[in-house]
Amino acid sequence: MEILRVEHLTKTYQQGETTIAALNDVSFSVEKGEFVAVIGPSGSGKSTLLHIIGGVDKPTSGKVFIDDVDIFKLKESSLAIFRRRQVGLIYQFYNLIPVLTVEENVTLPLLLDGRKVDEDQLGDVLTTLNLNDRLGHLPNQLSGGQQQRVSISRALITRPAIVLADEPTGNLDSQSTAEIVELLSLSNQKYKQTLIMVTHNERIALQADRIIAIVDGKISRDEVIRK
Amino acid sequence: MNIITKLTLRYLKENRQRTFTTIIGVVISVAMIVAVPTLLASMIDLARRQTVKENGDWHVSYSLVLAKDLELIRKDESTSSIALSQPIGFSPLEESLSYNKTMIYFTRMDEKAMNTYHVALVEGRLPEAENEIAWSSSIASEGGVIQKVGDEIEVVIGDRIVPADEKNPERVLSREDYTAYSDNTGEVVEVFRPRETHKFLITGIIDPGTLENYPAIGFLAMQYLDADHLEPTDLVDVAVKWKQIDNGANKNANRLLTKLKINAEQIDFNHSLLRYYGILSDRNMAILYGVGTILLVLIIVGSVALIYNAFAISVVERSRQFGILSSVGATRFQKRSAILQEAFLIGLIAIPIGLAAGTAGIGLTMRFLEPLFEGVVGTSSEPLRLVFSPGALVTSVIIALITLLVSAWIPSKHAGSVTPIESIRMTQDLRIKPKDVNTSDLTRHLFGFEAELGLKNLKRNRKRYSVIIFSLVISIVLFLAVSSFTIYGDKAADHYAKELKYPVWVRVHSDVNVEKQVQILSEIARLEGVTDSMLIKTVPLDIQLEPEQINPVIRNTRQPEEYAEFGGNTPIAFAIQLLGQADFDKFLAANKISELPQNDQEAVPVVLINSKTLLMSKDKYQPIDPFFVERGETLEAAVHLRDGITEDKVKLKIAAIAAEMPNGDVGFDLSPHMLLVGVRETFDRLAPPAADERSIGWVYLQMNAADTSKLTNDILAYQNTHPVGGLMIQDINAYQRAERNIKVITKVFSYGFVILITLVGIANIYNTVMTSVAQRKQEFAMLRAVGMTSEGLKKMIRYESLFYGFRALTIGLLVGTGINYLLFRQISEGFRLKFQLPWLAILIVIVVMMATVGLTTLSASNNASKDSIVEALKNENY
């Protein structure tokens, strides 16, 4: 079942006199439950792609369908609510809110939605990500790896259609990196969670089912490495 | 609790210092806001009490109601209490020395009515029997008729009648017809029709309270009214006090009118009191509310400009937070509500404190200013009291909430539009172009690289930069505007506030002849404490001038009608001030004129006062010489009698010209005027006084004393013990004291207002500098990492603030001076003022501005340079 379809995405920036294309006619689709790694060198456009899929950046042209919804046809507030429910975002710098506890940071999307937190589901996610004994801590009391686990939990809590991770290990030491990639992989398998991860690290990419390589805003390679 | 609220609350707690300063700012604003309606309510309350004191404590009165109908009024739903009185009639008081009070008004009153009209027993006891009366104290003090308690008097009581003529039937006048009834020509036409002769025993002397208003024709004499012994057909006047003073009671009063079967002329509302309840429309109240509204608008504008900044900073500071929220799906509304909730939470704390502080503050201010109000509202004014008005409090809360909401509105819109990508990438800084942060090489040469970096930092965030500058400019401009206003106000008032040689003036205001007047005034001049005095008799004269003796400017000024007569050949009305020989010599000495022989048998030697006329030209008053009369000239004058009839001519020889009038004043007049001074004896010798002397001129005494208030009281005491009739006493010192007090009061309020606005401004500067430093910790760490010393860092931050202060001062002082000039234009009309910069205020502005910015920056830069480089660099989340 197709969960994401990207059609002819183009994103250009105006820089002085010259126009720079961050993305140049990119099209692909992702099946439900797939773990996709997007790789490419710095400036190749991979992060831009991820932001557009997550609906936090807008393309110059092209369309993104998540669960058959054309997300850029949504009004701004509907897009926010769609993102809240259907998209989970993980960043290199965690992007946690420093004044909220671990538990509050994790459940933030649910709280914004005014939904009651499903304790079983929360417990399950927190156990999976091994955060049970850190619930009352504030982000600055945690290590980098722990903070990133909070950020992953936050992305998973709503059981979104798709989780987007932008260099999730970019800021971590090698031990934490291994741990995080393993957790992402685990959540992919355990929750059948569709996952798209941007990285410039080929070795991490090899943990995914499929690798899409982007060079100069174009897909240069798209191969399934594991079924 | 909603997650956004929780987040906002934690954010506020986290940034304690900033939250605290913002709260202080809002508290001050709210305090100012609540002070306005509270002050207004207190002033209205004062006006009400003062009116009750002067006009009686009643709301509506019905005259000539049948005693059997009294129950209707008493039982009415609006009625709180009723006071009864019963008119008996008038009796002429032939011996009265007063001009206007020539009769005694007899009435019956119950105790309630005595309270209502503030009639109080001074001596003896209240009347009880039918043939007993209490007698107004003013019959002695004003009328000069002295009767003691225990005296028996016989009076003829009757009615004042306006006889019937072709058009109107006969009319009986009542107490409400204050003055003698005269026809169109001014001739008194009322006559007295006697009814009965009565013998009374005077049992007491009463203070007539409000019942003997100054112009009233009758002195008060009172019998006691026992409500229980009224016959059903007796007619009584009823003064009603309402339970609640509102439009309902007002309508009800008119309904009662029909029930009582009396006509509309028999109902009278206490208009002067009811207008202070908003029941009757009133211009003064409209002005009061207008001024209040303008003040509130000023405060709101000032506050919004300053509080706005706090929320604008918050948005910048929280924009990363909003980005994260946005990336996990917060809607625009949710982001926006975060800032609005911040405003609300701050209001929750600041508004109650502000209300309390404002009320307490205005209460204290009023208590301290209270002594100054004496003499401002009236000679015996009621004290100014703090009034808690629920309406004022509710209004203040609403206005404060609106102020906060308006302040947070635009920042909240910005918060709503923060996109996740902006916060993730921190693209705000990426958007700037090199030319945005262009600085001139001069800066670097003059102040060094750190200063240049500081200036670049300012330019990097133009929006915030302009917000802060705007806030600072508002504070400066308000301060300068108020200072200029006070300076010009002072200057304009100074024209009146000249020290006078003779601050106390007394005139006999009764029917005694000039000789007697001179005698009374001479006695008063010998009262203890009088240091200097001068007795002046003024006689009006008609003088025929040649056309060329009149300044052509005046002759040709046809527009103001009063000048028209100066073009033709009609005689001009002048006045001559006649002094005793000794006073005249004193006057000559003061003007350095040698003695003038008084033995001329032909003409009276007079001194011409060289007074100028203020003539409006080109929107300004210009002083000009109205007439060209030379020394040595002899003028022929006709002595004025009443109604344009003139007496024999007298010759006046201009023996000298002086600059000052006998009272030491320099003459300025709006209408052309010529004043002559001569010796009384010489004038009387050459122009014998007319038989009816009081019609030609009036006599007054000018005095000085170390303590003029005491002198005034002594004169009043003299009046009560000597049958002199009325005295008109004017203490110009007291008047000037009141003027000065008004100025002090105005200054306290205007400077208080500015100081508070400035405090809000200072809180704002503090917030801004602290936040901008805290926000850029990482940047500072980076600068230090690449080798900037702590000293260099501090220098950079200081220059940054210096540029802020400098820019704000430049704009603020320019705009402030502009407003100063506009004020000057406004006030200079009519007064010869020179344009003047408020130097002291400008100096204060510069010092305060620089000190605030400097001190804040000092503590901020110390904080910044103390942080560990590694920690700050690592701190990614802020």
Taking only the tens place, the pLDDT of each residue in A132-167 is 888 888 888 888 888 888 988 888 888 888 999 888
State the pLDDT confidence band at B876, using cuts at 50, 70 and 90: very low
Q: What is the CATH number of the domain that holds A135?
A: 3.40.50.300
pLDDT tens for B652-681 read 888 888 888 887 776 556 666 778 898 888
Residue B666: its pLDDT value, please? 66
Structure tokens of B528? 């203890």
Residue B408: its pLDDT value, please? 86
Instruction: Locate all alpha helices (DSSP H) within B829-878, ordered by sequence.
Output: 839-866, 869-874
Distance of CA B710 to the CA centre of its chain: 26
Nearest by CB to A108, which of B328, B332, B876? B328
State the pLDDT confidence band at B564, using cuts at 50, 70 and 90: very low
Chain B contact present for A174, CB below 8 A: no
Residue B158: its pLDDT value, please? 92
Task: Kindly report the three-state secondary structure assignment for every residue of chain A.
Answer: CEEEEEEEEEEEEEECCEEEEEEEEEEEEEECCCEEEEECCCCCCHHHHHHHHCCCCCCCEEEEEECCEEHHHCCHHHHHHHHHHHEEEECCCCCCCCCCCHHHHHHHHHHHCCCCCCHHHHHHHHHHCCCHHHCCCCHHHCCHHHHHHHHHHHHHCCCCCEEEEECCCCCCCHHHHHHHHHHHHHHHHHCCCCEEEEECCHHHHCCCCEEEEEECCEEEEEEECCC
Given a cut of 90, whether residue B115 has pLDDT beyond it is: no
How far is A151 from A148, CA to CA, in rounded Å?
5
Given a cut of 80, whether residue B418 has pLDDT beyond it is: no
Check B332 against A76: CB less than 8 A apart: yes
A122-151: b or e for each residue (b if 16 or more CB lie within 10 Å)? beebbebbebeebeebbbeebebbbbbbbb
Residue B867: its pLDDT value, please? 64
Calculate how close chain A gets to B17, using CA atoms only, in Å. Answer: 16
Check A87 against B329: CB less than 8 A apart: yes
| ipTM of this complex | 0.76
pLDDT tens for B466-514 read 766 777 777 777 777 777 766 666 665 555 556 677 888 888 877 777 7
Interval B414-438 mean pLDDT: 61
Question: How many domains is chain A partitioned into structurally?
Answer: 1
Check A77 against B10: CB less than 8 A apart: no
| Chain A residue closest in CA terms to B10 | A99
Check B877 against A109: CB less than 8 A apart: no
Phi, psi of B755 (to 5 degrees): -60, -40
Q: Which residues are within 8 A (CB) of B206 and not within 5 positions of it... i.e. 6 or more apart?
A: B119, B120, B121, B122, B134, B135, B136, B137, B220, B222
Closest to B401 (Cα-Cα) out of B290, B478, B300: B300
For residue B877, list chain A residues with Cβ-Cβ distance below 8 A: 93-94, 96, 98, 139-140
How far is B835 from B820, CA to CA, in rounded Å?
9
Residue B878: its pLDDT value, please? 40
For residue B878, list chain A residues with Cβ-Cβ distance below 8 A: 98
Q: What is the DSSP letter of B688?
A: P
Residue B491: its pLDDT value, please? 60
* B371-375, Cβ contacts within 8 angstroms, sequence gap of 24 or more: B372/B741, B372/B744, B372/B745, B373/B741, B373/B745, B374/B741, B375/B734, B375/B737, B375/B738, B375/B741
Residue B873: its pLDDT value, please? 56
pLDDT tens for B202-252 read 999 998 887 877 667 888 999 988 888 888 888 899 999 998 888 888 888
Nearest by CB to B3, which of A98, A108, A154? A108
Closest to B8 (Cα-Cα) out of B307, B309, B311: B311
Calculate how close chain A gets to B334, using CA atoms only, in Å. Answer: 8
For residue A154, list chain B residues with Cβ-Cβ distance below 8 A: 328
Nearest by CB to A93, which of B328, B330, B876? B876
State the pLDDT confidence band at B96, using cuts at 50, 70 and 90: confident
Distance of CA B660 to the CA centre of its chain: 32
pLDDT tens for A37-51 read 998 888 788 888 888
Which range of residues forms the domain containing residue A89? Answer: 2-224
Chain B contact present for A11, CB below 8 A: no
Check A56 against B419: CB less than 8 A apart: yes
How far is B584 from B597, CA to CA, in rounded Å?
12
* Sole residue written with tokens 């390679």: A221
Nearest by CB to B331, which of A81, A95, A99? A81
Supply the mean pLDDT for chain B: 78
Given a cut of 90, whether residue B353 has pLDDT beyond it is: yes
Structure tokens of B28? 């001050």
Residue B489: its pLDDT value, please? 61
CA dihedral sign of residues A209, A215, A221, A222: positive
Nearest by CB to B421, which of A51, A108, A171? A51
Range with lowest mean pLDDT among A173-177, A190-194, B398-402:
A173-177
CB atoms within 10 A of CB B395: 19
Candidates B7, B18, B328, B876, partner chain A, best to mutate (most A CBs within 10 A): B328
| Percentage of chain B exceeding pLDDT 70 | 81
Residue A196: its pLDDT value, please? 92
| Chain B residue closest in CA terms to A55 | B327
Q: Are B551 and B520 in contact (CB under 8 A)?
A: no
Q: Which residues pair with B196 in a beta bridge?
A: B157
Check B326 against A139: CB less than 8 A apart: no
Rg (CA), chain B: 38
For residue B328, list chain A residues with Cβ-Cβ distance below 8 A: 83-84, 89, 108-109, 112, 154
Interval B820-832 mean pLDDT: 65
Calculate how close chain B gets to A97, using CA atoms only, in Å. Answer: 6
State the pLDDT confidence band at B426, using cuts at 50, 70 and 90: very low
Structure tokens of B610? 């060289």
Closest to B650 (Cα-Cα) out of B618, B610, B609, B606: B606
Nearest by CB to B332, which of A77, A83, A154? A77
How far is B672 from B554, CA to CA, in rounded Å?
8
Q: Which of B130 and B489 is assigned the larger pLDDT?
A: B130
Calculate how close chain B gets to A226, using CA atoms only, in Å. Answer: 30
Distance of CA B593 to the CA centre of its chain: 43
Q: Which of B780 and B590 is assigned the larger pLDDT?
A: B590
Distances (CA, A) of B113 to B138, B390, B683: 19, 32, 54
Closest to B343 (Cα-Cα) out of B740, B51, B8: B8
B546 burial (CB, 10 Å; 0-12 / 13-18 / 19+) is exposed
Nearest by CB to B330, which of A51, A80, A82? A80
Q: What is the DSSP letter of B433?
A: -
pLDDT tens for B727-755 read 888 887 777 777 777 777 777 777 777 77
Check B332 against A80: CB less than 8 A apart: yes
Nearest by CB to A98, which of B13, B421, B878? B878
Q: Are B543 and B576 in contact (CB under 8 A)?
A: no
Rg (CA), chain A: 17
Given a cut of 60, whether residue B642 has pLDDT beyond it is: no
Calculate how close chain B gets to A176, using CA atoms only, in Å. Answer: 17
Candidates B10, B314, B319, B324, partner chain A, best to mutate (most A CBs within 10 A): B324
Closest to A198 (Cα-Cα) out of A39, A34, A4: A39
